[in-house]
Amino acid sequence: MPVVNVSVKWGKQKYDGVQLDTNEPAAVFKAQLYTLTGVEPDRQKVMVKGGMLKDDDAWGKFDIKEGHSFMLMGTAGTLPAAPVEKPAFIEDMSEAEIARALPVGLVNMGNTCYMNATVQCLRAVPEFRQALERFAGGASNDVSQAVTVAMRDLYRDLDRSGDAVQPFMFLNTLHRAVPSFAQLSQQHQLQQQDAQECWVELLRFFGHQLPQVSSNGAIEPASQRSNFIQQHFGGQLQARISNTEIPEEPSETTTESFLQLQCHISAEVNFLSLGLRNSLTETLTKNSSSVNRDCVYRKLSQISRLPSYLTVNMVRFEWKGSSGAKILRNVKFDAYLDVFELCTPELQERLKPMRTKFKAYDDAAIEKSRSLKNSGGVQSMDTSKDEVVQYEPSSFEDDIGSNNSGYYELQAVLSHKGRSANSGHYLGWVRQNDGTWLKFDDDTVYPVNMDEVLKLSGGGDWHMGYMLLYGPRRLPKA
């Protein structure tokens, strides 16, 4: 009997008739308990058969029967100690309630996890979702427009569906736009593709279609950053190229745009910050006009424009021909990223005013916490006012879509498990508006905590971060 009715005792509350699907992971049952009680899964202690239930436990070892009683321990955070309304079961919820409780995933159409994970990670950017929703284009033979329309319609399906979505139309459109993604194996099955390549291709298509948007939502005329992708995902580098063999030769300064930074992984790189810094220093060989022969040059790049959303490619594959060997080294990344030291002196000066505001805010928060601790008090949990938090602008006034502080907060991680980019399995790990995290494993969605996300740093055969998406850290208004 895969589905059994059980009861759950939580403090003074008891919930009868909770349906437990023994074919689903224990994490799904914890998500059900979250919708009933408000106790987040990572704060739950569910007692079963004298022990504590783990997310990866198989129900078969417990032999759960009809009417079994579970005991739940945990605090519901800012929610009341006991529900004031009758508990709502998943089968009784509206589509909107289901979407809020547990967003839906995407069905794997046959080695399409690379696409599913990319789609879910990009969905973490609210401005991108809004730009797609405003897009009025329809069916077209232009592949960029067709892909943009298909993504817009796919997001609409995800927003209104209570079940996992089958992305037939989006997949077919992507195959038409990038024929190499439609390659079949000798068994006539779709071949696995590189998620980083999919990410890059999608942003390229969207850049052709989504116009730049102003702070009030109006469409801006073409400018230096003439489309939405360049505006919100695009940065700029200023590079100084100098001849290491002939120091007296005048150096050359160039500028170039980027949609992602790379973290090259070597034996000395243990942290993301070092990998980024090393990746901005290159050695190249080119002809020197002063001596008319090839010389070794040093190219030192600094960031002269920061985008709202900073994409980092963890360069984990060493490509030889069409196959990429995996670099498994553990390279730690954090929930917060500060790129101030990677910027040009001119940009650093522009970042300082907002960074000063952040420091004052952080200092005040630390002092408040210290005072509460010293006084033995507790922070008020009064939520009766339901105040909407207002934030300071995170972009420069004259450059909407930029980052005006250099501070970022992790929004999504696209992870890979396996030894080759064209095999294995991809997942999307996405931060929600309320700060919680969800793991999108194709059509299955799990709530996870931040610690699990930060464990995607590598060092073994488990999932490890391949694409990191950072968004602007936002400063509440005083």
pLDDT in tens, 16-36: 888 888 877 787 788 788 777
The Cα–Cα gap between 240 and 244 comes to 12
pLDDT in tens, 101-110: 678 999 999 9
pLDDT score for 90: 44
The Cα–Cα gap between 470 and 409 comes to 5
- Structure tokens, 261: 């930074």
Task: Indicate the domain borders of the chain.
Answer: 3-76, 236-307
pLDDT score for 79: 41
pLDDT in tens, 373-403: 777 665 554 444 456 789 999 999 999 999 9
Task: Decide: 310 and 408 in contact? Cβ < 8 Å.
Answer: yes
| Residue 366 φ/ψ, nearest 5 degrees | -65, -45
pLDDT score for 24: 78
User: CATH assignment of 3-76?
Assistant: 3.10.20.90
Secondary structure (3-state) at 467: strand
**Among the residues of 161-310, which ranges form H helices?**
168-177, 195-209, 228-233, 272-279
pLDDT score for 384: 44
Best CA proximity match to 208, nearest among 259, 257, 143: 143
> pLDDT-based confidence at 1, cuts 50/70/90?
low
Would the CA dihedral through 258, 450, 121, 362 be positive or negative? negative
Residue 320 has pLDDT above 80, yes or no: no
* Active site positions, annotated: 113, 425
What's the half-sphere exposure (Cβ side, CA atoms, 13 Å) at 450?
A: 11
pLDDT in tens, 112-140: 999 999 999 999 999 999 999 999 988 88
Best CA proximity match to 42, nearest among 441, 452, 448: 448
Best CA proximity match to 65, nearest among 16, 9, 123, 3: 3
The Cα–Cα gap between 363 and 369 comes to 10
Of 69-83, 164-178, 425-439, least confident by mean pLDDT is 69-83
Residue 111 has pLDDT above 50, yes or no: yes
Best CA proximity match to 280, nearest among 252, 312, 251, 248: 312
Indicate yes or no: pTM above 0.85: no
Residue 248 has pLDDT above 80, yes or no: yes
| Residue partners of 231: CB distance under 8 A and separation at least 6 | 212, 213, 225, 307, 400, 401
Residue with the larger pLDDT of the pair 421 and 267: 267
pLDDT score for 58: 80
The Cα–Cα gap between 302 and 347 comes to 10
pLDDT in tens, 41-51: 878 888 877 67
| Residue partners of 96: CB distance under 8 A and separation at least 6 | none
